[in-house]
Structure formats: C-alpha cells, structure tokens
Amino acid sequence: MARPRKTAGDHRTKGVTVWLTPAEHATLSAQAAAEGLSLSAFLASSASRRPTKSRSTSVEIPGLLPLLSEIHRLGVNVNQFTREFNASGRFTGADVRGYSESFARLADAVAALVPEAN
C-alpha cells in the first residue's frame, strides 16, 4: 500500500543554507546517523522537537532589569555631558562629582546583584 499524500501544509518548500565548521558538521552527521536519519531530516525534525532558549533570557538575575535601565540613563547623561563639554570646552566640578557618585552607586548595585563581582 502506498504512503498517503501529504497535505499542502506538510510539504517542505523552504530551504536554509547553514555554514558549519568541519567539527560541527561531523557532530551533526553523527547525531543524525545515530537516529537513522539523513542530516537534512535530522535538522528538520530537530527544529520542531527541541525548544531553544533565547539569549536574552538565558540569565535570570532578580533586579537586573531596573539596573540595566539605570545604566542606560546614566549613559545618556554622560553623552549629554560630553556633547556639552565638546561644544563649550567647559565643565564644572559639580558635574564631575555627580557622575562619579552615580558610577559609584551603580558599581555598588552591580556588586549586590552579582556575587562574583564582590
């Protein structure tokens, strides 16, 4: 008896070119052979059965998001300070002390969140 025809949604019509190192190719080929599949079939089946974790969520540190926001705000302020200095050639000691204190608070916050930083 013949295999049933695939429905329109089951036809693979999109191709992808992937560049691998010889070692990566050998590893994938061995994994495919161990499962009795061609490399193409192995990669296609891998795409649907193995969820991947996004790089952006690979590290979960409580309290990190507000800290990253503060780093961004501080960077914006430093950029504005630098633009003003480049335009006028002047800066005050209060500006420098303010940024120095902000960076010190930021360093303390990072040290509190990341034990390896201590």
| pTM beyond cutoff 0.75 | no
Burial zone of 113 (CB within 10 Å; 0-12 exposed, 13-18 middle, 19+ buried): middle
The amino acid sitting at 25 is H
In the prediction, which pLDDT does 50 show?
A: 55
Give backbone dihedrals phi and psi of 51, rounded to 5 degrees, phi first.
-70, 145
Instruction: For residue 87, give every residue at least 6 positions away whose Cβ sits within 8 Å of its Cβ, in sequence order, or none.
Output: none
> 118 by DSSP, 3-state: which?
coil
In the prediction, which pLDDT does 54 show?
A: 45
In the prediction, which pLDDT does 67 show?
A: 79
Per the prediction, the chain carries an average pLDDT of: 77
Tell me the average confidence (pLDDT) per consecutive run of 10 residues in the chain, 118 residues long.
Answer: 76 84 88 84 77 50 76 82 82 77 81 65
CA–CA separation, 107 and 55 (whole Å): 24
Q: Would you mind telling me the total number of residues written for the chain in this entry? A: 118
In the prediction, which pLDDT does 51 show?
A: 52
Between the alpha carbon of residue 31 and those of residues 12, 26, 111, the distances in Å are 22, 9, 42
Long-range contacts of residues 44-48, Cβ cutoff 8 Å, at least 24 apart: 44/12
Tokens representing residue 26 in the block: 């050998």
